[in-house]
Amino acid sequence: MKKRAIGLNSTDKVKTTPAEGEQALRLQVYLAHAGVASRRASEKLIAEGRVSVNGRIVSTPGEKVPPEAQVCLDGALLRPERVFHYLVLHKPPLYICSSSDPQGRPLARELLPGNIKERLYHVGRLDFRSSGLILFTNDGGFAAKISHPSAGIEKEYLVEASGPIPDRVVEEFIRGVVIDQVFYQSSGIERLGKKSLRIVLIEGKNREIRRVFSYFHLHPVRLHRIRIGPVRLGALAEGASRPLTPGEREKLTGKN
């Protein structure tokens, strides 16, 4: 059953910005500003040959797009957004962070308020079985800045395992462990019980906690994100959303 999303008031649902069309933009930046996807995801769309500029397919990111250019994705004309949204969603388990799903699983984006006309995309992700805090926006610059590892933004999780978690797991995760030639390391772990931990990550590689637990033959039965940098999930109900506050946005982007 679809969870009920909390709507936004007219006074806090958008941020209006000046037109971006005063200067040429790199193509992937243009796509991000048009609310298509993040810059990284836009680069993939370009490489797939799905983007055209003035009727010409462009398959290499980085091409400068002048303000008067006609940019299309799959033949549909795009325009940079002038109204930006920044939302916190409490994602329930068994919702997928994707724009579509061939298996027909419910999408996290479907929980967002229906009165938003602009297309929003998730910043980072939570896997299908995980729950908790995830950010949505149509501001490509904001998404790119807070997603980059150099931003050093902490992500905090509550994790419950199917069995007792040995001290060795905590010690090695803090020290750092190499799995399939990938280095995983937590910046902080607090034991909450025999089967539960509070884990803080900074870079947050794909399925990092699940991969580390699996390496030690453990299975997380609950993986719940409660914080991204200064943004806390708090009492936000499962399936509900709220706007980021201006203060939270400034702290996330280092403008405080």
CATH of region 154-228, choose from 3.40.50.10470, 3.30.70.1560, 3.20.20.10, 3.40.50.720? 3.30.70.1560
* pLDDT score at 255: 59
The architecture CATH gives domain 16-77: Roll (3.10)
Q: Could you tell me which residues are beta bridge partners of residue 51? A: 73
Which residues in the chain come in under a pLDDT of 50? 1-21, 256
Residues labelled catalytic: 127
Rounded CA-CA distance 38/233 in Å is: 23
* pLDDT score at 134: 97
* pLDDT score at 32: 81
* pLDDT score at 8: 39
Residues 6+ apart with CB under 8 A from 145: 151, 253
Rounded CA-CA distance 231/248 in Å is: 6
* pLDDT score at 204: 74
CATH of region 83-149+231-253, choose from 3.30.70.580, 3.40.50.720, 3.30.70.920, 3.90.550.10? 3.30.70.580
* pLDDT score at 11: 31
Domains 83-149+231-253 and 154-228 share a fold: yes
CA 130-218-94 angle, to 5 degrees, is 20
Q: Could you tell me which residues are beta bridge partners of residue 90? A: 133
pTM attached to this predicted model: 0.75
